[in-house]
């Protein structure tokens, strides 16, 4: 079982932008209609999101860079840049991008969630837990973060069961619980799972000035 970045069904990735406080729930994965770009997502970024979907990362980056040249703090453009970096294996760059977003726009849950995904991929489960808790503090109804936090808790539990068995190899209870954890994470992710992010919503007000 893998943690999930903020995402929508692939065909709708460029179509929906969240309200000022909370991202809307994802549409059913079975949908096959392409919705028009929602208000608030510029045509350039809608194009960039579509290019990411199609694997055209260089072209998407050019669109994103053009937006950032005129608005260096644009949260949607920076979020999409983080996705490009993450998809291309530029982990350090993606971490820096999402960390910057969480500092400048702490009220947005999506950057915290995607930061947690990277931490979990690195085995940094305590850091992932903290990031997901921040995502849920920003948006208590953020279902993806709740699911991801459950996965992180399960990973952490597996580590404790391992430690219990290291101390007492005859501990049948710990053996059974560890077997359940391993079985849970042996389930492969759905091949139909969407892969692209929800564009970060614009804050209701301008970003808070750093002290």
Q: Write the pLDDT tens digit of every residue in 87-129.
A: 999 999 999 999 999 999 999 999 999 999 999 999 999 999 9
Q: What are 54-80's pLDDT values in tens digits?
A: 999 999 999 999 999 999 999 999 999
Q: What CA–CA distance (Å, rounded) separates 13 from 21? A: 19
DSSP 10: G
The residues pairing with 196 across neighbouring beta strands, listed in sequence order, are 8
Q: What are the extents of the domains in the chain? A: 7-19+38-105, 107-192
pLDDT tens across 17-29, in order?
A: 232 333 333 333 3
| DSSP assignments along 138-171, one per residue | H-TT-HHHHHHHHHHHHHHHHHHHHHHHHH-TT-
Provide the pLDDT confidence category of residue 174 given band limits of 50, 70 and 90: confident
Q: Specify the DSSP class assigned to residue 12.
A: G
Has residue 32 got a pLDDT over 90? no
How far apart are the C-alpha atoms of 48 and 44, rounded to whole Å? 6
pTM: 0.72
Distance between CA atoms of residues 45 and 71, nearest Å:
12
Give me the chain's average pLDDT, please: 76
Of 5 and 86, the structure prediction assigns the larger pLDDT to 86
Q: Is 54 helix (H, G, I), strand (E, B) or coil?
A: coil
Is domain 107-192 classified as CATH 1.25.40.10? yes
């Amino acid at each position: 079982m893998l943690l999930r970045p903020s995402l929508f069904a692939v065909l709708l990735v460029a179509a929906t932008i969240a309200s000022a406080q909370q991202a809307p729930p994802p549409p059913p994965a079975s949908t096959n209609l392409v919705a028009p770009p929602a208000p608030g997502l510029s045509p350039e970024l809608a194009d960039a999101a579509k290019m990411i979907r199609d694997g055209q990362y260089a072209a998407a980056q050019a669109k994103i860079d053009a937006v950032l040249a005129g608005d260096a703090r644009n949260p949607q453009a920076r979020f999409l840049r983080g996705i490009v970096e993450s998809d291309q294996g530029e982990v350090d760059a993606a971490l820096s991008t999402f960390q910057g977003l969480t500092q400048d726009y702490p009220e947005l849950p999506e950057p915290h969630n995607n930061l947690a995904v990277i931490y979990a991929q690195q085995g940094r489960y305590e850091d992932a837990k903290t990031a997901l808790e921040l995502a849920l503090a920003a948006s208590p109804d953020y279902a993806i973060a709740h699911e991801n936090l459950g996965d992180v808790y399960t990973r952490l539990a597996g580590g404790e069961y391992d430690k219990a068995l290291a101390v007492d190899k005859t501990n049948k209870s710990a053996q059974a619980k560890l077997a359940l954890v391993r079985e849970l994470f042996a389930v492969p992710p759905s091949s139909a799972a969407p892969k692209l992010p929800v564009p970060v919503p614009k804050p209701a007000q301008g970003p808070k000035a750093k002290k």
